[in-house]
């Protein structure tokens, strides 16, 4: 039997299939089955108040899982699907409440990856798929990362090689009175506004306190090694504090102290930076590296998604 047929069979009997998307690897379960979704939350150790994204093969099937399909959804799906944009809409009964953490909305996304699309077409149903990592950890961008994260907790891993985008999709809430970006991603505010007019965005440096939206708490995408972010002005302070095997990430170059003995060059363009960010963090997240220091990229719209993930992965110096 080919891999896709095997994956479909696993999903039909309530199992878990990890699959590649253009953003990160997802851990998929049948979003029409309460039991399957419960298993998914258990495998990820995901808090029950954090909704999952439901993946679909195209805009037509998305309309089965949304209770309404407004003009904004039509335009955005036509322009950006398949692609890294999740649309939050009123939820239809065909998606079990557990997949949406009990909310009456659902996040829908059509991923731009041939293996994901083949799976979704063959399954012909809604697939709940959060990133295939344990809760609060760095998202996986290769099949090997998924193996390290989840091991036996997953029934099958479809290997599609490294992910092209590297960070999670833009999440846009269309269920309220004004479209609001809940999570920045590769599809930018400007690209969305060009299609549907003004959208609200979260502040670049969110206020401290309780999470505004589920899954948006501090240190959501964190390595285990203590990780700090700093501004260019703090560079000399960082150099002072980084003795003893600490790692530095400097500007477009990630430099490493003599003790750790490693230098990783980070790309100076946001797309290329995003593509390698999680695998670099994973690589550095092991002894002898005692701390990770990351220079924040410029406060510019093109860097919004990367800055968001860096803020969640680090504490300010
Ligand atoms: O790129 C991606 O979106 C990846 C790949 C696998 O598709 N998936 C992903 O899923 O990042 P996850 O579960 O790690 O992130 C889901 C986030 C939630 O934490 C929440 O912020 C938002 O999407 N979300 C999902 N459904 C929502 C809803 N109904 N209302 C508000 N936010 C929602
Ligand atoms: Mg995640």
* Nearest alpha carbon to residue 133 among 273, 2, 23: 23
Look at residue 221 in the predicted model and tell me its pLDDT.
Answer: 74
Q: Which tens digit of pLDDT belongs to each residue from 19-74?
A: 999 999 999 999 999 999 999 999 999 999 999 999 999 999 999 999 999 999 99
Q: What are phi and psi of 223, to 5 degrees?
A: -70, 165
Look at residue 206 in the predicted model and tell me its pLDDT.
Answer: 57
Ligand 2 geometric centre to CA of 130 (Å)? 6
Does 311 score more than 90 pLDDT?
A: yes
Q: What mean pLDDT, rounded, does the chain reach? A: 89
Nearest atom (ligand 1) to Cα of 215 = 19
Does 91 score more than 70 pLDDT?
A: yes
Nearest CA to ligand 1 atom 10: 130
Mean pLDDT of the region 121-130 = 98
Does 254 score more than 70 pLDDT?
A: no
Mean pLDDT of the region 138-154 = 96
Does 258 score more than 60 pLDDT?
A: no
Pocket of ligand 1 (CB under 6 A): 21, 23-24, 26, 50-53, 84, 86, 88, 100, 103, 105-107, 109, 111, 129-131, 168-169, 171, 182-183, 213-216
HSE on the CB side for 241, CA within 13 Å? 17
Nearest atom (ligand 1) to Cα of 132 = 6
User: Which ligand has the nearest atom to the CA of 169?
Assistant: 1
Does 309 score more than 90 pLDDT?
A: yes
pTM above 0.85, yes or no: yes
Look at residue 136 in the predicted model and tell me its pLDDT.
Answer: 85
Mean pLDDT of the region 144-167 = 97
Nearest CA to ligand 1 atom 3: 169
Nearest atom (ligand 1) to Cα of 55 = 7
List all residues 6 or more positions away from 137 whose beta carbon is below 8 Å from its beta carbon: 149, 221, 222
Ligand 1 geometric centre to CA of 287 (Å)? 31
Ligand 2 geometric centre to CA of 36 (Å)? 18
Q: Please tell me the least confidently modeled range out of 21-30, 162-171, 258-267.
A: 258-267
Look at residue 249 in the predicted model and tell me its pLDDT.
Answer: 57
Residue whose CB lies within 8 A of the most ligand 1 atoms, among 92, 130, 136, 176, for a mutation test:
130
Look at residue 209 in the predicted model and tell me its pLDDT.
Answer: 47
User: Which ligand has the nearest atom to the CA of 274?
Assistant: 1
- Bridge-partner residues for 30, per DSSP? 127
Does 161 score more than 50 pLDDT?
A: yes
Q: Which tens digit of pLDDT belongs to each residue from 191-229?
A: 999 999 999 997 766 555 444 444 444 566 788 888 889
Look at residue 202 in the predicted model and tell me its pLDDT.
Answer: 77
Look at residue 293 in the predicted model and tell me its pLDDT.
Answer: 85
- Whether 193 contacts 314, CB under 8 Å: no
Q: Please tell me the least confidently modeled range out of 86-90, 109-113, 184-188, 239-243.
A: 239-243
Q: Please tell me the least confidently modeled range out of 13-27, 45-59, 72-86, 273-287.
A: 273-287
Q: What are phi and psi of 193, to 5 degrees?
A: -65, -30
Cis amide linkage into residue 311, ω under 30° from 0 = no
Ligand 1 geometric centre to CA of 255 (Å)? 32
Look at residue 295 in the predicted model and tell me its pLDDT.
Answer: 86
User: Which ligand has the nearest atom to the CA of 212?
Assistant: 1
Does 156 score more than 90 pLDDT?
A: yes
């Amino acid at each position: 039997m080919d891999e896709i047929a095997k994956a479909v069979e696993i999903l039909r009997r309530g199992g878990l299939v990890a699959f590649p998307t253009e953003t990160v690897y997802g851990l998929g379960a049948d979003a029409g089955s309460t039991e399957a979704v419960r298993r998914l939350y258990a495998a990820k150790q995901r808090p029950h108040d954090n909704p999952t994204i439901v993946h679909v093969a195209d805009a037509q099937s998305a309309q089965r899982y949304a209770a309404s399909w407004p003009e904004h959804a039509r335009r955005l799906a036509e322009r950006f699907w398949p692609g890294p944009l999740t649309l939050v809409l009123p939820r239809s009964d065909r998606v079990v409440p557990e997949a949406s953490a009990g909310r009456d909305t659902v996040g829908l996304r059509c991923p731009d990856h041939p293996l994901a699309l083949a799976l979704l077409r063959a399954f012909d149903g809604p697939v709940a798929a959060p990133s295939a990592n344990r809760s609060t950890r760095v998202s996986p961008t290769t099949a090997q990362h998924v193996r390290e994260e989840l091991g036996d907790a997953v029934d099958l891993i479809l290997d599609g090689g490294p992910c092209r985008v590297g960070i999670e999709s833009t999440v846009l809430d269309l269920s309220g009175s004004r479209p609001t970006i809940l999570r920045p991603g590769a599809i930018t505010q400007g690209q969305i506004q060009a299609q549907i007019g003004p959208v609200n965005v979260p502040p670049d440096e969110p206020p401290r306190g309780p999470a505004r939206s589920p899954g948006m708490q501090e240190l959501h995408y964190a390595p285990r090694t203590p990780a700090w972010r700093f501004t260019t002005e703090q560079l000399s302070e960082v150099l002072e504090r980084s003795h003893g095997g600490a790692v530095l990430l400097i500007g477009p170059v990630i430099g490493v102290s003599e003790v750790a003995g490693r230098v990783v060059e980070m790309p100076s363009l946001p797309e290329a930076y995003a593509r390698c960010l999680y695998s670099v963090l994973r690589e550095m997240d092991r002894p002898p590296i005692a701390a990770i220091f990351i220079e924040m990229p410029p406060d510019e719209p093109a860097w919004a998604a990367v800055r968001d993930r860096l803020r969640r992965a680090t504490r300010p110096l």
